Amino acid sequence: MYRGVKILHDPVRNKGTAYTEAERDYLSLRGLLPPRVHSPAEQELRVLNNVRAKPTDLERYLYLVSLQDRNETLFYRVIMNHIEEMMPIIYTPTVGKACQEFQHIFRQPRGFYVSMHDKGHVREIMQNWPHKDAKIIVVTDGERILGLGDLGADGMGIPIGKLALYTACAGIHPTQCMPVMLDVGTNNEALLNDPLYNGLERKRLRGEQYDELVEEFITAANEVFPGVLIQLEDFGNNNAFRLLEQYRNQVCLFNDDIQGTGAVAVAGIIAGLRITGGELEDQKILFLGAGEAGIGIADVYVAALAEKGIPAKEARKHCWFVDSKGLVVSSRENLADHKLPYAHDHEYVDNLLDAVKMLKPTAILGLSGQPQTFTKEVVEAMADINQRPLISALSNPTANAECTAEQAYKWSKGRAIFASGSPFDPVKYNNRIFVPGQGNNAYIFPGVGLGAIVSRSRVVTDDMFLAAAHSLANMVTEHDLERGRVYPPLSRIREVSAKIAYDVATIVYDRGYTDKERPEDIMADIRNYMYKPIYPHYA
């Protein structure tokens, strides 16, 4: 047990001014703290006042990260009690700006870095991690950070932010969370020319050496932390699909950009159909963007139709893609492998508007990273085709959204069912208040991870994400739908995560993916596991 100033510098055990009189005697803290003992509620009030006084979201982010480095319990108390206010600061959209400025706002290290220079010694260095019971690793190589592209080692902000959400939204203990950056270089010339850049000053590693480093990392992670869940995050398209297929059946691993995004978007479609009155098998989905997120959504949608007895080949005909070169059709040459299953035999057009007019989709989903690509003409065309068009502008951060909530409602004359990747404020149109739904992956991955961790699953499967999509859609109330929202409010996110974890764990036990004995009460087992930000007593 640390005493004196050392415990004040330990973010896991530090209570700041909340140490009691007895604890101050026991831990040799007399004189090291102001004399008044503050309650956690009073400390929370001080934090809120400071956060709200900051002039920009980036400064609010920096203040909260500093609090996390000083006092994790207080940090998570504030986040959990004010999740709707704080999530846009600790994650999207602010985390994107933080990653872009990462080398300039760097204060102290958080997370774990594995570089190509560590090849051959990854297992050895992973034992330097101070917490010996890691249950979840979020790892990126920084090549495709949100919609911002290659940010190299500055992409560390993403694993840090994701893991904060694992704790806040699903109750994974902070000491069981490990953010990892695989630094294999960057092709971002601005970073390479920046003297303050923290990563390797070289172009990206590719090919066999890259694959060997990834394999060594995954092997070492499972040796040092047996059974650890690994979440692949913000890898480039080619590596993301390839690595998922290579490792998904070998270790407990998933890719949130593919599978998590797929589940949250399909949940929004299922909930939206409660407004339109349509059936899942009668929809035609047009995606703008054919990368990890779009293909992931289509794959979950196909799985949902398979539940209804529709063969995969037929189900894929419900999903169409427009990429940077136009409509993805079978006559196009040199299509990437992940696009081929959705390259249908159809006339080619080179733009989204013509594709909408020709295909007459019931829903358009934007995952392009290109702002303002759902133009007035596109939204009006969707409204001409559908009484209640589903329009999801899912690209992050907010500046990259395909359209704003206000544009979608205004251009559709209030008939659009709108969702977005980053948050938008409520919109007043024709004396009605619309509350946009946020298709945030935080509704999905924390619950899936919690279920896999508590059940000690050996794998994470696609049917777990389909179950998560149904769970999330079922949590949307009639009140939410009346306001135009196809996702529950973020204030219910721990409840959502627990329900998803229950459904995931049930699959794990039913299908024998674990050696753990099935508990009598799965939900009680999950809730007992979930971390609560309560200070320990030391005396």
Catalytic positions, please? 91, 162
Extract long-range pairs of 40-43: CB within 8 Å, 24+ residues apart.
40/74, 40/77, 40/535, 43/16, 43/17, 43/18, 43/74
Taking the mean position of all CA atoms in its chain, how far away is CA 26?
Answer: 42
What is the CB neighbour count within 10 angstroms for residue 103?
18
At which residue do the structure tokens 């399909």 appear?
266
Rounded to 5 degrees, what are φ and ψ at 132?
-95, 10
- Within the chain, how many helices (H) and strands (E) appear? 24, 14
User: In whole angstroms, how far apart are CA 57 and each of 64, 90, 155, 169, 313?
Assistant: 10, 9, 18, 21, 46
For tokens 């993301």, the residue is 240
CB-based contacts of 155, cutoff 8 Å, min separation 6: 99, 102, 140, 141, 142, 143, 145, 181, 234
DSSP per residue over 411-460, as a string?
HTTT--EEEESS----EEETTEEE--EE--GGGTHHHHHHHHHHHT-S--
Cβ atoms 497, 488 nearer than 8 A: no
The stretches of 118-206 forming alpha helices (DSSP H) are 122-126, 157-170, 189-192
Half-sphere exposure of 16 (CA within 13 A, CB side): 19
- Residue 390 forms beta bridges with which residues? 363, 417
b/e sequence 193-230, b meaning 16+ C-beta within 10 Å = eeeebbbbeeebbeeeebeebbebbbebbbebbeebbb
Residue (of 518, 464, 526, 538) closest to 495 by Cα position: 526
DSSP state, residue 344: B
User: Rounded distance, CA 428 to CA 414, Å?
Assistant: 9
Consecutive H or E run containing 90 = helix 83-90
- Nearest-angstrom CA–CA distance, 41 and 18: 10
